[in-house]
Amino acid sequence: MDKLTLIKVGGKIVEEEDSLYRLLADFAAIEGYKVLVHGGGRSATKLAGQLGIESRMVNGRRITDEDMLRVVTMVYGGLVNKNIVAGLQARGVNALGLTGADMNVIRSVKRPVKDVDYGFVGDVQCVDGALLADLIRKGLVPVMAPLTHDGKGSMLNTNADTIAGETAKALAVHFDVTLVYCFEKRGVLRDEADENSVIPVITPADFRHYVDEGVIQGGMIPKLENSFEAIAAGVREVIITSASAIDGRGGTVVRATAD
Amino acid sequence: MDKLTLIKVGGKIVEEEDSLYRLLADFAAIEGYKVLVHGGGRSATKLAGQLGIESRMVNGRRITDEDMLRVVTMVYGGLVNKNIVAGLQARGVNALGLTGADMNVIRSVKRPVKDVDYGFVGDVQCVDGALLADLIRKGLVPVMAPLTHDGKGSMLNTNADTIAGETAKALAVHFDVTLVYCFEKRGVLRDEADENSVIPVITPADFRHYVDEGVIQGGMIPKLENSFEAIAAGVREVIITSASAIDGRGGTVVRATAD
């Protein structure tokens, strides 16, 4: 199968001009089929603040009432997405900006209210991998905003890591997929204080071991659980790295087995 | 050739919930191939105002400095476009929201500074009609925001009437195109004060006659000039009507000849 690289970058990287330009150049240089999934939370928080709308987060997720849905639709679907698309076009990448509503590419369901009412937040139900694969084979490069829709007329705010993972799984039927999660650190660290302590490879057995030992904790646990889930669903490998190394070199490779 | 209807709706219609819902239902009911081009100026002015950014208009066109470009990218490319796309998806229309940057579908050049520096405003250079035709024949319905790009990494604010006209011309090679401009009035009126004085058909000869007589004046003159230009470039007919009659009935039909 043809190789495909799916890169997920967080808000900070795409929201500052210097790091955005570097990312665009690095992403343009990736050979073969590729997809970019972006965040934009900081810009959303900033615009909300300017409009007098309070940003409330629970378990790292944004509570999205009607006003906040308007803000994230503007920031993720408009400002951040279109600046990336225009920037990639200038670098010879035939980018197509997408939310889940466009071509019904990602349908979600509004998260049911349990302990917390997250509001207009979507849990992904279905990614149209065949449609995306068709566009990608035509030479288009999807640039996906962290927004989906409910099929009933409403946009839904949707976690970018989730979009990346679900899209990677849907594309794994059509391509040999490498999923790269970019974040602030160089990879999964053995010692949080030491950037040079990147764990090069993590298998499920390693993971349990590191969690038991307390080496891996906090927000990294769901990130790795999602990574193993993606691999179980057919994604070849998941790389956790920093945005300054989106080719994955020097990061942590998450694999089903050690070899 | 297959028929295609291209509808251009102004900001007011898509920005108020009642008229938006009516438009979505009416647009969904149009049979055959179709494209929607939307504005959003009122929402842009409102958001700019909330952010303390002054909206300056010259000859009915928005001066677009860097801050205003961010506003229109958010409002046109995000808020307005995605709400329409999600609303059409809910009504069974497989909508795809596009700016000119997406797939490089409309490339513009930043308007040269003459008497007025309009800032980041684009004059359309090239519409990729073949690409749009290919998407449309696959069952997709493009929903086009009034934004293009310069191919050098910058988005450009671009008049929605111009996008509609240029897109209609580019599609006229592939389809039998009817271009419908929706505005506040029921059509071109013989008497501005009388909504029942719609002129049913206008040819170039009629137009010169009406302009000489002072029946047609102001902003309607460039609208009609653009319409004749579209017809000269192969668009079958242009209809000027109100958004409550997007099927064109009761509006003014602009044609090359009277019959």
Which pLDDT score, from 0 to 100, does residue A248 have? 66
Which pLDDT score, from 0 to 100, does residue A90 have? 98
* Confidence tier at B248 by pLDDT (50, 70, 90): low
* Confidence tier at A249 by pLDDT (50, 70, 90): confident
Could A102 and B95 be called an inter-chain contact, meaning their C-beta atoms sit closer than 8 Å? Answer: yes
Domains in chain A, start-ordered, CATH in brackets?
3-183 (3.40.1160.10)
Instruction: Name the nearest CA neighbour of B78 among B113, B62, B61, B102.
Output: B102
Dihedral sign for Cα atoms in the order B152, B82, B76, B25: positive
Could A90 and B50 be called an inter-chain contact, meaning their C-beta atoms sit closer than 8 Å? Answer: no
By three-state DSSP, how is residue B230 classified?
Answer: helix
Q: Across A46-60, A62-76, A213-227, B220-234, which has the greatest mean pLDDT?
A: A62-76
A contacts of B151 (beta carbons < 8 Å)? 89-90
The verdict on B53 touching A (C-beta cutoff 8 Å) is no
Per residue in A227-236, pLDDT tens? Answer: 999 999 999 9
Give the residue from chain B lying closest to A71, CA to CA. B79
Distance between CA atoms of residues B98 and A181, nearest Å = 27
The verdict on A188 touching B (C-beta cutoff 8 Å) is no
Tell me the C-alpha to C-alpha distance, in Å, between residue B129 and each of A135, B102, B179. Answer: 17, 13, 15
Per residue in A14-62, pLDDT tens? Answer: 888 888 999 999 999 999 999 999 999 999 999 999 999 999 998 778 9
Q: What are the b/e assignments for B156-188, b being 16+ CB within 10 Å?
A: bbbbbbbbbbbbbbbbbebbbbbbbbbbebbbb
Is the model's pLDDT at A243 over the cut of 90? no
Per residue in B172-189, pLDDT tens? Answer: 999 999 999 998 889 999
Q: What is the mean pLDDT of chain B?
A: 93
Which pLDDT score, from 0 to 100, does residue A217 have? 86
Which pLDDT score, from 0 to 100, does residue B163 have? 96
Is the model's pLDDT at B139 over the cut of 70? yes
Could A83 and B73 be called an inter-chain contact, meaning their C-beta atoms sit closer than 8 Å? Answer: yes
Compute the average pLDDT of residues A207-211.
94
B contacts of A120 (beta carbons < 8 Å)? none
pTM as predicted = 0.95
Could B83 and A151 be called an inter-chain contact, meaning their C-beta atoms sit closer than 8 Å? Answer: no
B contacts of A154 (beta carbons < 8 Å)? 86
Amino acid of residue B238:
V
Could A73 and B70 be called an inter-chain contact, meaning their C-beta atoms sit closer than 8 Å? Answer: no
